[in-house]
Amino acid sequence: MRIGFIGLGNMGGPMALNLIKQGGHTLVVHDLRRELAKPHLDAGATWADSVADTARAGELIFTSLPGPAEVEAVALGKGGILENAQPGSIYADLSTNSPLVMRKIYAAFKAKGVHVLDSPISGGVIGARDGTVQVMVGGDEGVFNEVKGVLGAIGSNVGYMGAIGAGTVAKLVHNMISILSRALIAEGFTLGVKAGVKPEAILEALRGASFGKGYTLSHHIPDIVFKGDFDTVRFGLKLARKDVGLATALARELDVPMAMANVGEQLLVEAMSRGWGDKDSTAPWLIQEERAGVKVRATK
């Protein structure tokens, strides 16, 4: 396949190299800094002097750029991809973007007969280098199936998330959860260390218990939340409220700030005030669902 690749930075550079390594493709590459293309040119890629030249050369065009403003400019701006892509070609953005921007791009490209996928990735620079990132794809499913094999050179996990923008939404949800959960973990570690426990011991405890074993993602969400089965008690809400209360009480004794833990505790308190003490400890999901006006249920 003839592939155009725009953006050879920390993430884009390794991904483009992996496409070359996959074989069977002719790569044309472009970046504002030509020196970044040296490994790709050495591996057999062709340099393009502009976005326009890259777009004209590709049956499949990738961008890996810093954010929504850069993607919109490259995709829709003067001399950009829209002006130069061939009808029937496919444009896939690998950046962390805005779903609104991707839907705007999708509509503009559709009018010209060019397909669009939002295909953000997660896995960091190491994952991009090793080809082990998660690729979260939104767009027409038939188009996704056409390029799924190509995307397999970029990531070992390639998933179809839904209509255009769904890949970007999934990426933003992932990053929000991943980044903010670190703040709660930091609270826990500082509490434990200030209470006299060695940090490596806390790490060992976390790794060996339910949190470190990933039970939230492998069990709690699919088996409890998706099924709405909050009445079958695996670990009771009243016990969870007691345990969190003991932790925040210890933090107050030691003057350890626990902003996120205290907010979470109030959610448990609200659930208890509704008489849910005998439900499962995941029952506070129901409060968040009520606030958001949506139920998180799945049939598969």
* Distance in angstroms (rounded) separating the CA atoms of residues 187 and 260: 8
Nearest to 54, CA basis, from 101, 86, 24: 86
Which two structure tokens, joined as six digits, stand for 162? 């839904």
Beta bridge partner(s), residue 16: none
Taken in order 222, 248, 288, 121, the sign of the CA dihedral is negative
* Distance in angstroms (rounded) separating the CA atoms of residues 135 and 79: 28
Catalytic residue among 21, 104, 112, 171: 171
Beta bridge partner(s), residue 25: none
**Tokens 């260390």 belong to which residue?**
193
Q: What is the DSSP letter of 126?
A: H
Which two structure tokens, joined as six digits, stand for 85? 């892509």
Judge contact between 74 and 31, C-beta under 8 A.
no
Beta bridge partner(s), residue 6: 30, 63
* Catalytic-residue membership of 110: no
* Distance in angstroms (rounded) separating the CA atoms of residues 122 and 70: 19
Burial class (CB in 10 A: 0-12, 13-18, 19+), 100: exposed
- What are the backbone dihedrals phi and psi of residue 110, each rounded to the nearest 5 degrees, phi first? -60, -35
Indicate which residues carry an active-site annotation. Answer: 171
